Structure 1
Amino acid sequence: MKLMTLNTHSLSECDEKNKLQTIANFILNYDVDVICLQEVNQSMTAKSISTDRSYVGRDIIKEDNYALGLSQLLGDQYNWNYIPVKVGYGKFDEGVAIFSKYPIVNSENTLLTQTNDYTFWKKRNSLGVEIVKENTHFWVYTVHLGWWKDDEEPFINQWHKLNVVANKEVSVYLAGDFNAPDIIPNQSYETIKEDGWFDTRDLADDVQGRFTAQGKIDGWDEAVDGMRIDYIWCNKKEHVKSHHVVFDGTHEDVVSDHFGLFMEDSL
């Protein structure tokens, strides 16, 4: 199974159209099975539109929805789901999305924060989908979590809720922006590992790249050479063939303030 994740920073990038095409080309060229996206935006004032059968969600889609644009470039090869989570930058419905080449048979929209105030920028939800690939059922969650030291909505509370909902007998993958630097001891990264999740980078036969963000990005004001804050986790010790950082200027052009991850395992 080939899985990709990317925090898209969508509708906030210059040259947005070409960057979206770069992402679509990568997905098609590498025949990616599942794509997890974060910061998937649509303008709150944009016109609502009807979608085709590839969209399996229940939420209203606006005409400039970033996931819709990607779906149009990919054709009818992928089923997809999208949930708006909160107001972004005062003008966007900001949410998360998942694309799958295989049937999506179930979905979960889980509130991870104490607040359910749509206008509060710290609100977080996860989107999970159950996928069937050749009679094998597995779950994938796309997530964008908060910070460890946040006094109002700390990471640990969000993680506890996600860890409970993602506790399933079948294979489960958690992919996205965890805001969890792996070099800080006794915080987010180590908490996830201690709860029994496997960092697919650690399991991979072929590893390329490390950092998933460089310099100043939203939520991390300090100038740093690089951070690893985006991950693909799994609940079982799968045979991971490869784990690559992509859209980093070396392996495909940069398309966001985050780099992407591309993982292939034996599922």
Structure 2
Amino acid sequence: MSDSNEAQNGRIRLQHAGNEVVQEAGHSRQDLFFVAAVDNIAYAKRVDILWAGRDGVWHTLPATFHSMAGDHSEYWIATASLHLASHGAGPDAIRFALRCQMQGEEHWDNNGGANYVCPAHSYMRLGGDRAVFNLGPTQRLHDHQRTIAVSVAVHQPVRADQVVVHWTTDDWQNVHVTPCQPRSRLERMPAGGPEEEACEIWSAVLNAGDAFRIQYSVCCESGEQAIWDNNDFDNYSPSRKPLNVLVLNLHCRQEDDQDYKFSEIAKAIDELSVDVVCLQEVSEDWNDAQGDWASNSARIINDRLEKPFHIHNDWSHLGFGRYREGVAILSRYPFSEYDSRYVSNKRDPYSIDSRKVVMGKIAVPYFGAINVFSVHVSWWENGFAEQFDNLHQWARSRRETGVTGTLLCGDFNVAAGSPGYARIVAAQDYDDQFLAVHAPATFAAVFRERKPGWQSLLANDGRIDFAFLEKSSALKVTSARQVFTGTEYAEVSDHQGVLLTFEPASVLLGKRNTGDQ
């Protein structure tokens, strides 16, 4: 706790803190901000500010990642706005301490056990060499958020004439310049510090509209000098939630500890903020071919989510002698349309080569309508060619005005580089998204240049689970990884599952920096 005598151990260090009182439209509010430098010794970490006012009640204020602070440290920032009653007591001085939790340990900066004190209208600068520091958002834009409030701390020695924000919503194809307005002056603490070390707060509001991402940098103009905070030449880029797609073959209830593994899958979907799940080998009790929805594995997983998704499911054939086996799509967002059909010429429910695919048209916020197909087709020698050709024709028929992308996701039962994979490449309509992320040179040789003998480049690949994106889609994959490997999440199947993250392609055309620091 922040009242302890635990000494600062150096893993987390206070850089800046401010206690600002703002008058707006006849109301007063108290704005607090804290900037910490945290050693980057682990990816997973939690950073909090523990603070208390005159009432002595301690509050926990979570901080969020802001930017890198050199090669081995990160800046984390926390802000809070407190409404001040018009006839109540004046604004509070605050006591506070910083805490970081990572690798199972707690690290503190609590001013040697005495806690820090920051009176109203005051500012503390204990570290860092930035004369201009952006206090605005750097990570996420919330749903329905159309404006961004940017606040900038400028140290008094700069003597700013003007502070402006350079920003874009279309990757610098069009650039906007918005002047900031001086909002308040915070006196340097501790009391008696040099006047020139006070701080001015400047602010501006940027109109993001419905843009997926806004990129911006801050420029402080002082005489002939321009001082930039542009996130170390990378710009600040808060964005909407990306699209996360999980592809997983469930192994038709053949696992030990099956109930636990269903829960593990649901846990991963929640914790990884998955939006769309494409499942194969979905099982439910055969029940004389009538099925039993209560036993459906996709439904069981869905029911264990913190908030159940929309679900579309269909079955293809008898699996392992006792289940209706099929495919399913779970979606955070509603289906505007859905369908299922055989892609195999066989339609005998007792034949393992009778194969259905399910399709859902999903309106994803800030992406538009996306057609998603959950696929489980036969091996090459058991009819893959006809099944893929039928799927290809079906997916092509669903390209229509307003559809921004098409994804074919699932267990294709043909390895990368095999004749079946070569048939997909030859269709010249779909790209392997996992390969695009992890082996871009090989991806280019296979899907762009189609170099003779490209199959040899994939000789040791071995994947049969894929996410193929239709080439004209307005989506761009940004990451892809296996999930159920026994490390982050337990093994849940004879497949490890693939998680892919997408953003609208138009925001990833390139980066442009807007000035020197």
**Where on the TM-score scale, by shorter chain, does this alignment land: which range?**
0.7 to 0.9
- 2:436 aligned partner, one-letter code: L
Q: For the residues of structure 1 that align with 2:436 and 2:426, how far apart are their CA atoms?
A: 16
Q: For the residues of structure 2 that align with 1:180 and 1:33, how far apart are their CA atoms?
A: 26
1:56-112, Cα deviation, whole Å (9 max, x unpaired): xxxx65221101111110144410111011111121010111000011111121211
Correspondence 1:95-134 to 2 at 5 A: 95-134=326-365
- The residue number in structure 2 matching 1:43 is 285
Q: Is the 8 A contact 1:43 1:65 kept in 2?
A: yes
Structure with the bigger percentage of strand: 2
| Residue 193 in structure 1 maps to residue 425 in structure 2 | yes
| Residue 93 in structure 1 maps to residue 93 in structure 2 | no
Q: For the residues of structure 1 that align with 2:264 and 2:477, how far apart are their CA atoms?
A: 25
- The residue number in structure 2 matching 1:241 is 478
Q: For the residues of structure 1 that align with 2:303 and 2:486, how far apart are their CA atoms?
A: 25
- 1:137 aligned partner, one-letter code: A
- The residue number in structure 2 matching 1:230 is 465
| Residue 203 in structure 1 maps to residue 415 in structure 2 | no
TM-score by length of structure 1 reads 0.82
| Number of residue pairs matched by the alignment | 234
Q: For the residues of structure 2 that align with 1:205 and 1:254, how far apart are their CA atoms?
A: 22
1:208-228, Cα deviation, whole Å (9 max, x unpaired): xxxxxxxxxxxxxxxxx9831
Q: For the residues of structure 1 that align with 2:380 and 2:464, how far apart are their CA atoms?
A: 12
Q: Do the aligned partners of residues 61 and 103 (structure 1) sit closer, same or farther apart at CA in structure 2, a change above 3 Å counting?
A: farther
Q: Is the 8 A contact 2:311 2:328 kept in 1?
A: yes
| Residue 254 in structure 1 maps to residue 498 in structure 2 | no
Tell me, what secondary structure is at the counterpart of 1:80? strand
- The residue number in structure 2 matching 1:28 is 270
Q: For the residues of structure 2 that align with 1:199 and 1:231, how far apart are their CA atoms?
A: 7
**Of residues 150, 160, 167 in structure 1, which corresponds to 2:389?**
160
Q: For the residues of structure 2 that align with 1:45 and 1:117, how far apart are their CA atoms?
A: 17
Tell me, what secondary structure is at the counterpart of 2:417? coil
- The residue number in structure 2 matching 1:6 is 248
- The residue number in structure 1 matching 2:411 is 177
Q: What is the deviation of 1:115?
A: 1.2
Q: For the residues of structure 2 that align with 1:226 and 1:18, how far apart are their CA atoms?
A: 30
Q: Is the 8 A contact 2:252 2:325 kept in 1?
A: no
TM-score by length of structure 2 reads 0.43
- 2:310 aligned partner, one-letter code: N
Question: Max radius of gyration: which structure?
Answer: 2
Q: What is the deviation of 1:178?
A: 0.2
Q: Which runs of 5+ in 2 are unaligned?
A: 1-242, 441-459, 505-517
Q: For the residues of structure 2 that align with 1:9 and 1:113, how far apart are their CA atoms?
A: 21
Q: What is the deviation of 1:201?
A: 1.5
Q: For the residues of structure 1 that align with 2:308 and 2:322, how far apart are their CA atoms?
A: 31
Tell me, what secondary structure is at the counterpart of 2:350? coil
Backbone CA RMSD of aligned residues = 2.2
Q: For the residues of structure 2 that align with 1:78 and 1:181, how far apart are their CA atoms?
A: 31
Q: Is the 8 A contact 1:8 1:39 kept in 2?
A: yes
